[in-house]
Homo-oligomer: A and B are copies of this chain.
Amino acid sequence: MPKLWNETIETHRQAVRDATLDTTAALVAEHGLTSVTMSKIAEKTGIGRATLYKYFPDVESILSAWHERRISAHLHELATVRDRVADPAARLEQVLKAYALIHQERVRHHNEPYGAELAALLHPDEHVAHAQHHLREMFRELLEQAAAAGAVRDDIAAGELATYCLHALTAAGGLPSEPAAERLVEVTLAGLRPPDATHPANTAG
């Protein structure tokens, strides 16, 4: 059964890869990049140094892969939240909230001993640009659906509203608690409501 065998190999490779990423991120966050070597990573992951080099050429490439995996996980998390809710308005609110909390968590990591150093290393690359595009498209679709349901204004393009949401919610990184992040989502959502609902006198304007 070569297919099953290949799957086993692939599962094993994925497990080694994942363990390497986890170990490296933990080592860098704890000790700083300059004190983390390929030997140290191999030792802590429990694999040989030669094996590690079959997966990654250097520490930077491991961190880049770790970052890529984290971004994919965030996108997957948001898609899961989206697909769990049927009502367009509630769906939008849930995804905005999940995104705000991801940002709050991200800044918490940034404040770990070597978190800022790690963040500075993770330059925006092609993968990040792709993820940001994907995220903006997801928000744009959610906003279009909510606008069609009458919960969001339709006099401003959904793409512009998506840009507003994505920026407004990054404010969660500067807020101290989950309730504060929830208030931010509430304020951000209030900005999206149809103007005729908020300003009955201005419907014609």
Please give the residue numbers on chain A whose beta carbons come within 8 Å of chain B beta carbons, in ascending order. Answer: 153, 156, 160-161, 163-164, 166-171, 174-175, 180, 183-184, 187-193, 195, 197-198
Contacts and interface: CB of A to CB of B under 8 A. Distances in A.
A189 B168 CA distance: 12
Number of copies of this protein chain within its complex: 2
Contacts of A191: 168, 187-192
Contact of A164 (B156, B160, B184, B195): B184
Contacts of A167: 167-171, 174
Given A198-B193, A198-B198, A187 B164 contact: yes
A163 B156 contact: no
Contacts of A183: 156, 160
Contacts of A184: 160, 163-164
Given A160-B180, A164-B168, A164-B171, 8 more contacts: A160-B175, A163-B184, A164-B188, A167-B169, A168-B191, A188-B191, A190-B198, A191-B192
A190 B193 CA distance: 8
9 contacts: A153-B187, A156-B183, A160-B180, A163-B174, A163-B175, A167-B169, A187-B191, A190-B190, A197-B198
Nearest to A181: B160
A183 B160 CA distance: 9
A75 B1 CA distance: 70
B163 A171 contact: yes
Contacts of A166: 171
Contacts of A175: 160, 163
A173 B53 CA distance: 41
A180 B189 CA distance: 19
A193 B184 CA distance: 13
B197 A190 contact: no
A88 to B, nearest CB: 18
Contacts of A189: 191
